[in-house]
Structure 1
Amino acid sequence: MRIFPASLALACALLGACSADVPAPTTPAAGPALQLHAEPWPLPADASAAQPDLVAAPDGSLLLSWLAPDARGHQLRYARFSAGRWQPARQIARGDDWFVNWADTPHLRASADGALWAQWLRRSAGNPHAYDVLLARSADGRQWSAPVTVHDDGTATEHGFVSLWPEGADGMGIAWLDGRRTAGTGHGDGDGHGQGNGQGAMTLRSARFDARLRKHDEQELDAMTCDCCQTGAHAGASGILLVYRGRDAGEVRDIHLRRRVAGGWQPSRRVHADDWVMPACPVNGPAVTAYGDEAWVAWYTAPQGEPLLRLAHSGDGGATFGAPRVPDRGTAVQGRVQVAADADGLWLAWLREDARGQSLWLARYSPSLERELGRLRVALLQGRGRGTGFPRLLADRGNARLVWTDVVAGRPVLRGTVVSPVAAASAP
């Protein structure tokens, strides 16, 4: 999204956009237990499409959403993958006043009753960086409700970077970054982000919506967060896990976690004490997933000036995390991480960019992260920089499904692949 101008050169180095050629990552010396095999996964998206989301529905089908430009603005569209084939794509909504951005993207989720919920962003004022979060619901996937604005502060400020999760039998939980306290404070640099020490800071809020789109239990979860890093959430047996990039008065921007159990939201804490002092938003949020009582968080950081990809495991549902491992490091590391888990372990996806181009990588880990089982360069992209956005990852029947944006001849296009693990041949 936008970065504090005084730190633009630093951010360029940290994000790898100015990196020289760096060797591609390799699997640890112990050797992989699996070979990873990728097959193309044709997608039903429009010829020009970007900002995908990929999630599973309660019936086992998969839901893919994307943004497609049209003559008057943009459409938010989706398709369902079931029984090995795609159903026809459908329109969720369209508008000519939407806020469309490579980093702050729409989301699609299904609640426990099978209803679909979609979220997107709409400009709210003359300021190009003032926008609202809209939420709509469909009981049948065809007819959609009129959207409601998730927040009711009425300020011409930023609201976005949303996470959704199923709530109860038919509801939806939501968390978002909220800029209401930045209104009229003269904060930051005029580029839409608060950089002050506690005054006009971005906040993290949450609420839940019922099937009639009535809001309940809105609350502030953190009074000072990083301005424009993605949030991530997972709803599982151990409760709700919500991760985001925090921020304090000393500009430490480490990854924080809020865990909600039967008694409510527990206090925020850092997944790991990186102590990364960063005077601007890196636009690079964390990812979280869980399976049973195990949970994993992946994130980008650069505490000593070297970009790192970190990955941490919890054996108690997110209550505590062990020391993280570092799957990748160096100036080529873009981050933009995704994680997905199943009974056999964890999938991790991330982006790199060096002089040879941008590439999408996938690794497979044992549940405890003690072993990296396999690693694969999934794709070498034609696009560079931010236009490729954030990949999406899903675990599906022992395989990994990936969807990402590439840029071909100046036009964004969606690509997909299915990666299957194959046992490595034993040495003779």
Structure 2
Amino acid sequence: MHARIAVPLAVAAALALTLTACGRKPAAPPASGNFQAQVWVLPAEVGSMAPDLVRAPDGRILLSWINRREGRRNVLQFSSYTEADGWQSQPRTIAIGNSLSASGANAPHLLATRDGALWAQWLQSRPDGAGHDADVVLARSRDGGMTWAQMTRVNDDRALAEHGFAALWPTGDDSLGIAWLDGRAVDDAATTEHPESAPAVQANAPDAHAMAGMAHGGEDAGKSTQLRVNGFDMNLRRGADVVLDPHSCDCCQISAAMTPRGPLLAYRARSAENVRDIATLRFENGAWSAPKIVHADGWKIEACPVAGPALAAQGNTVIVVWYSERTDKPLLQLARSTDAGDSFSTPVELDAGAPVLGRAAVAFDGQQVWVAWLRENGQGQTLMVARYSPDLQRRLQTIEVAKVGARGMASGYPKLLADDGMAWLVWTDSEGGVARLKGARIVR
């Protein structure tokens, strides 16, 4: 498909790429020998969940999470780590409030740009709404996360509707792009406004998403959910929204990866017949491409599975992992692109069968592809990691990282980073019914 979606000049300017950010060392041969998982002690307190794990341009690893304790307001925090110095002395707080939604599926995100700024995105429930009604909030810190004075609402409508499942990527030294799922179209009578000021984070309201009950049932549930995108500059000035897909899956995560040809997005598309396969789009030469299906699984399901794809990229090589039931059984698949997402290889089966959960993460360090995923049987959940050769033709190793005390959606979604021949992994566990973040370094 070569059709393109034109982007207004404001958005095109906001999404202009700094291609040098994509420059990486050439791929090395797959690492030999066996790796092992070591405990990586995290700075998050008991009650923490919904992690995000990203790398800053200066090489630091950034970990964010929500601390949710009975009788307390929810707190969004982060910390930074280097192999040489460990964790910074004290976690820093980004936002606090009962309206700050604590959801493992619709987790916050953190991003660092080359100007030294930090950006944070989270979901904030609407005090005048109910259930899943929430807004996507974006904040920026100019002082390393000590203060977050800049704040705005990403969705520019006031519709009592679901917004979320966002993905972030840098568009220059001091700007970013953001994609999210937007439910405003189900309420044509909703008024819209331009958000001029920061939303209140102290409002008392129930969480927009509980860890359970995330699947939206029914033929018409979220039938008009849109995939939208926009750009924000260093002053949080926005461009104009672009609707990339007017009929996406309701609540599956979006993933973003940078390539030399532009940012690539992966999401779960949705046909009029409720076929929900994974699709990608890329921003290139001032326009977003039309969606392309990664693989025609033909998986038809009436309710959203809350299982979005995960992407990893280095140069023009892109790896995608996703969940499907195209074979009438749970299935996790991997596919590879060598042309920045124009086309993908025939999928490789990562895992299949009843124990497989649809929550996976992927990383690529040039030497090997790393994948993490969860399984659950009558004895409980297990967190797994596998290493593959860069062409996905050889599974190099499978590692059982941990037995997980959480059950069902309480274990959330693992996050994975890899570089320099090692990997870092974080996940949500449960001890005595209370959430707790755990981590592992996977080294040779």
Give the TM-score category using the shorter length: 0.7 to 0.9
Question: Do 2:49 and 2:66's aligned partners in 1 also have CA atoms closer than 8 Å?
Answer: yes
TM-superposed deviation, 1:145: 2.0
- 1:350-406: CA deviations, max 9, x gaps? 111011210111111111111111110111111111101000000132101000000
TM-superposed deviation, 1:33: 5.3
TM-score using structure 2 length: 0.84
Q: How far, CA to CA, are the matches of 2:438 and 2:419 in structure 1? A: 17
Q: In structure 1, what is the equivalent of residue 87 of structure 2?
A: 86
Query: Could you say what secondary structure the match of 1:215 adopts?
Result: coil
Query: Could you say what secondary structure the match of 2:410 adopts?
Result: helix
Are 2:21 and 1:52 aligned?
no
Aligned residue among 129, 135, 139 for 2:138: 135
Question: Do 2:163 and 2:183's aligned partners in 1 also have CA atoms closer than 8 Å?
Answer: yes
Q: In structure 2, what is the equivalent of residue 17 of structure 1?
A: none
Are 2:431 and 1:405 aligned?
no
Query: Which is worse superposed, 82-91 or 226-235?
Result: 82-91
Query: Could you say what secondary structure the match of 2:234 adopts?
Result: coil
TM-superposed deviation, 1:47: 1.9
Are 2:122 and 1:123 aligned?
no
- 1:181-227: CA deviations, max 9, x gaps? 12269xxxx99958556984111000010000011142000010111
- What is the identity, as a one-letter code, of the residue corresponding to 1:85? G
Q: How far, CA to CA, are the matches of 1:136 and 1:215 in structure 2? A: 13
- 1:257-289: CA deviations, max 9, x gaps? 111122421110110000001011011110011
For residues 123-272 of structure 1, what are the structure 2 equivalents within 5 Å?
123-124=125-126, 125-140=128-143, 141-183=145-187, 193=216, 195-196=218-219, 200-272=223-295
Q: How far, CA to CA, are the matches of 1:158 and 1:40 in structure 2? A: 37
For residues 242-391 of structure 1, what are the structure 2 equivalents within 5 Å?
242-391=265-414
Q: In structure 2, what is the equivalent of residue 97 of structure 1?
A: 99
Query: Could you say what secondary structure the match of 1:216 adopts?
Result: coil
TM-superposed deviation, 1:44: 0.5
Q: What is the CA RMSD across the aligned residues, in angstroms?
A: 1.9
- 1:99-134: CA deviations, max 9, x gaps? 222211111111122211001111123312100000
Q: In structure 1, what is the equivalent of residue 16 of structure 2?
A: none
Q: How far, CA to CA, are the matches of 1:296 and 1:35 in structure 2? A: 22
Q: How far, CA to CA, are the matches of 1:114 and 1:237 in structure 2? A: 22
Structure 1 moving runs of 4+ over 2 Å: 69-72, 190-200
- What is the identity, as a one-letter code, of the residue corresponding to 2:73? G
Q: How far, CA to CA, are the matches of 2:175 and 2:396 in structure 1? A: 38
- 1:210-245: CA deviations, max 9, x gaps? 000011142000010111111100123231110111
Cα distance change, pair 270–383 in 1 and its aligned pair in 2 (3 A): same
Q: How far, CA to CA, are the matches of 1:266 and 1:365 in structure 2? A: 29
Q: How far, CA to CA, are the matches of 1:76 and 1:260 in structure 2? A: 30
- What is the identity, as a one-letter code, of the residue corresponding to 2:155? H
Please identify which structure carries the higher strand content.
Answer: 1
Q: In structure 2, what is the equivalent of residue 113 of structure 1?
A: 115
Question: Do 1:162 and 1:176's aligned partners in 2 also have CA atoms closer than 8 Å?
Answer: yes
Q: How far, CA to CA, are the matches of 1:344 and 1:313 in structure 2? A: 14
Question: Do 1:364 and 1:373's aligned partners in 2 also have CA atoms closer than 8 Å?
Answer: yes
Cα distance change, pair 218–396 in 1 and its aligned pair in 2 (3 A): same
- What is the identity, as a one-letter code, of the residue corresponding to 1:132? D
How many aligned residue pairs are there?
Answer: 386
Q: How far, CA to CA, are the matches of 1:317 and 1:77 in structure 2? A: 33
